[in-house]
Structure 1
């Protein structure tokens, strides 16, 4: 698990490392700069011209140190240090002095007027203007520099965070005044802002660089945000006993499908069966019975009293988990049946798709869901439950409020799907790819969650593991078929290999 700290806490980690390693701050900066220079030199050869933009603070100090290290390796480096107020941070000042001792660097200290350099498509710009400590939008001359860099054809590498981007909330930021990096080299830990869709144009690809911040401090310091890793999920996967039987792995009920939407129930059912459930029953209208029995012969079916849709709540006492929503439709009797089902159910529920849309009209019912229930909305479905959101940060904030007030777990789907617990804890999921942006992918996820809950995994583990394996199966499918050509069915087909990778800790 990679912890994600607010930027103010990252400063505290720096300070703790300096005090307790112990190490001088200038030496910690040198260590970070060596990691940065190494990452850069692994991507670009010495024939590449570099133009470095350094600010007056420690981000600028990093940039000056990187300039020196690259020049010592034979790179052509042009440096612009912006010192418009005549004050540099102590470590930035030290690195300015060290840089002066290296020959062959084209160095410019900007105190008043800035004559911008020519930047071509062959150039790599290193952005070291401002780091993660920024708390207001860039303006004036620095905003002009950012706009100049963004208008150039050069490749841009940001040190730690693109200048102008704040580490968490950018609701009131000025987008035109944020560096648009192609690569962000983040020091030690990711920033929350990296995981939000609207920040991708600024962050680009991001890479974590280990700069040796105190592992003890990282372990001890609490945060509500983390990025799941493969070993986290492999370590909590339950081994199967030699004498286990189908009854050992739970009974699941899936309420899904309507006329013209049998595919949703098929995809969810197949995913559930490919994720280790012992027994699965699918509650469907009669019109879908032949399709489901043929497409998913391993599942049993239970027929609704209505021929074309879900219209009557069913008994759930014999099941360990209930999934509801894929392909249900939004008819009035389906709406009434959903509310009856929630009121009568004591078993944890996974609520998805049309069931979420119907709940948007009856928000009080979210709090009536059984303990350990999981909602799996995409952003638009979430907004029907919590109201309009300006951006991902507000969406996450409102989703956390909903999880806490209703006592439910939420898988907020998207790139870096986030699993939110009632406690406010959030785990971002690293697996998955744009090829999964296709109809039916969410139904597959519902099936995986349903299987894990039925097998006795707690809601937090079931949600995190389902999101991880669902994305991992999608990554396997993407390698096999490409992002354009893959379907939700391909994700199901690749689930067994994804599970084996966890089982064998591959």
Structure 2
């Protein structure tokens, strides 16, 4: 699914009006009607008080359409106009006149804090937030911030139209009190990037996209900077297996890492290489890793360094398809030298995680030695060491794009809604949950991506597919384990379930037969 920018949304609206020969007012009617339909389907005429707060721009116009349809369908509606400027959009004014034609209870005008001090909203009520949309380009007035704080104080369910009011669509939040906290946001035609970033996603608990009939050709042909990656996007990537294939067909992954007390990281990554479908896996560790690996994971082949506790040399005679390096590696001075010498000699595709990233951050000249399309999988702190600090999440993405472009690498920003950055493009993963916030799951992801490259997936395919499978495994597992009890080994076991889910058909509703 494409994630359109603010400018692309405006262009889609304009082109739709032109090609479908409709006015902006008609498109607003269509959008507001979709919001009403969503509410009506769920409420079925229930007489819960609904409080619709409308700004004086196009988002407010959408809110007036919703309020008008609620009124004409017999709902208990209170409508308010948040009079925050002298400028009113044409479509707002048209819909203001229309709502006055269907009710004697005209919208209440709010111009200062005193105007809403005696409004009674109870916790069981519903607030529809239609104050500001994506066009907001100025600070929110102090009295409007007080209104948003009033929303929060009521604890009423808050439904935001298109975007929580006050939340910028293309930059970070400067004043948290100037943003509505929505229980649910209904976004027109496309999700907004702010739904997926740690600093801004918290302003809506849930979101949903409503189709308002934007021109299909425009939606299909327009290239976006960001894309949401779910099942529909990864299914075409999947490579089915031929009947007469064998283990050599699916490649040989090498996992390099481990140090005294951290052999488990190599074990998890190596297991993941095979669990995702690679034909063979070899682990390269210090001597202390030999017995644990041969005992815990007999399917792996093991090569060891001469040193008992750390890697002092990375030297092997095998010919792997791909190498995953860094898990549990440590940053001993001898290990750093070994890592540098390895990079100078290596010609194989690389997946780098954990201490491999930390060594690159300590010695940034090594970044120039990375093969093109090397995959880096940092968590936020590792990313900060690589690219420096950032002002907000949008600044983080811009700095990561510049870094990825400079070194011709793929960067996987791990976290909720893991984002893959490559060639000025952002790929937002749709799977995963807080159950992955546990030690070792990053090692599992390294092994998954390594194992997919071993099988012949290109670097970007392996990254997107690997991140999806990793998250989907956790999504399936929470039904059995809950968030708190998932451990990294469980995620490996769930890879098979994530594969099976790719081809699972949605359940059809049962129709009762009469007779």
TM normalised by structure 1 equals 0.96
Contact 1:85 1:111 in 2 (8 A): no
Instruction: Note closer, same or farther for the CA distance 1:104–1:308 as it changes in structure 2 (3 Å cut).
Output: farther
Aligned length: 503
Partner of 2:144: 142
CA offset digits 1:203-242 (Å, max 9, x no partner):
2211111111112112222221110121221111111111
Unaligned runs of 5+ in 2: 507-515
SS of structure 1 residue aligned to 2:107: strand
SS of structure 2 residue aligned to 1:182: strand
Partner of 1:167: 169
Flag as ranges the 4+ runs of structure 1 deviating above 6 A: none
Matches within 5 A, 1:254-265: 254-265=255-266
Instruction: Note closer, same or farther for the CA distance 1:225–1:102 as it changes in structure 2 (3 Å cut).
Output: same
Q: How big is the shift at 1:150?
A: 2.7
Q: How big is the shift at 1:23?
A: 1.9
CA offset digits 1:254-285 (Å, max 9, x no partner):
01221111211111111111111011100012
Q: How big is the shift at 1:104?
A: 6.8
Contact 2:269 2:444 in 1 (8 A): yes
Instruction: Note closer, same or farther for the CA distance 1:505–1:452 as it changes in structure 2 (3 Å cut).
Output: farther
Instruction: Note closer, same or farther for the CA distance 1:467–1:262 as it changes in structure 2 (3 Å cut).
Output: same
Partner of 1:345: 346
Counterparts of 2:104 and 2:293, CA distance in 1? 72
Counterparts of 2:317 and 2:76, CA distance in 1? 70
Contact 1:323 1:447 in 2 (8 A): yes
Partner of 2:310: 309
SS of structure 1 residue aligned to 2:61: helix
Matches within 5 A, 1:346-495: 346-421=347-422, 423-495=423-495
Q: How big is the shift at 1:317?
A: 6.6
Counterparts of 1:85 and 1:400, CA distance in 2? 38
Contact 2:289 2:304 in 1 (8 A): no
Q: How big is the shift at 1:139?
A: 2.1
Counterparts of 1:115 and 1:324, CA distance in 2? 60
Counterparts of 2:344 and 2:41, CA distance in 1? 59
CA offset digits 1:416-446 (Å, max 9, x no partner):
101111x111110000001110001101100
Counterparts of 2:156 and 2:123, CA distance in 1? 5
- Return 29-38 or 123-132, whichever deviates more: 29-38
SS of structure 2 residue aligned to 1:98: helix
- Return 280-289 or 429-438, whichever deviates more: 280-289
Contact 1:8 1:133 in 2 (8 A): no
Contact 1:316 1:347 in 2 (8 A): no
SS of structure 2 residue aligned to 1:308: coil
CA offset digits 1:297-338 (Å, max 9, x no partner):
111001111111222122477111000111111211111111
Counterparts of 2:225 and 2:84, CA distance in 1? 38
Contact 1:184 1:203 in 2 (8 A): yes
Counterparts of 1:56 and 1:271, CA distance in 2? 54
Contact 1:56 1:82 in 2 (8 A): yes
